[in-house]
Amino acid sequence: MIKWANRINIPSFLDSSGAHLIHALKEKPHCVHLNKREILTYTGANSFEKAQDTLSKLCKVSAITDGDKGLYYTKGKKTLHSLYKIEKVYSTIGSGDCLLAGIVAGHINQLEDQDIANLGAACGAANCKRTELGMLYKADVENLLST
């Protein structure tokens, strides 16, 4: 799918790991979301910065999450950080998918890079506020973005 999308200039957004990640990165997706553990495992790097540098050569945008330390959104040589703290976390299941959905929405709406990172991080964090898995509410995202 990534190869096909690249042929017709449609940006692809990937959240994967293991063998699927290795194969997908060969096709140079537009954006890749991984957590810190996944990127360190994939690259074999001994530092977050080295792992991030390796990933940035395989895609145009990388979105690396580091748990309660937030999102590191890298485009080219510029890395932006975004973080929204949640008082009571019910579950993190589905947060990566919600985060990537926010990044895709920001990209589609042609937001500035920091605003894309913020929307992604807010969507991922909003997912944690509810007991429903992989569910976020617009009001929760808007409240986080306004803080």
- 127 pLDDT band, cuts 50/70/90, is very high
pLDDT digits (tens, 9 = 90+) for 103-125: 999 999 999 999 999 999 999 99
Domains contained in the chain, number = 1
Q: Is this model's pTM higher than 0.95 or not?
A: no
Cβ atoms within 10 Å of 117's Cβ, excluding its own: 28
Which residue, chain included where needed, has tokens 């990388």?
62
| Contact (CB, 8 A) for 47 and 54 | no
* CATH number, domain containing residue 74: 3.40.1190.20
Bridge partners of 64, per DSSP, are 34, 72
Q: Which domain, by its residues, includes 62?
A: 2-145
Distance CA 5, CA 126 (A): 30
Is the model's pLDDT at 46 over the cut of 90? no
Q: Calculate the average pLDDT of the chain.
A: 93
Angle between helices 113-128 and 138-145 (to 10 degrees): 130
3-class DSSP assignment, residue 75: strand
Q: Strands of 78-82's sheet, edge to edge?
A: 13-15, 31-35, 61-65, 71-75, 78-82
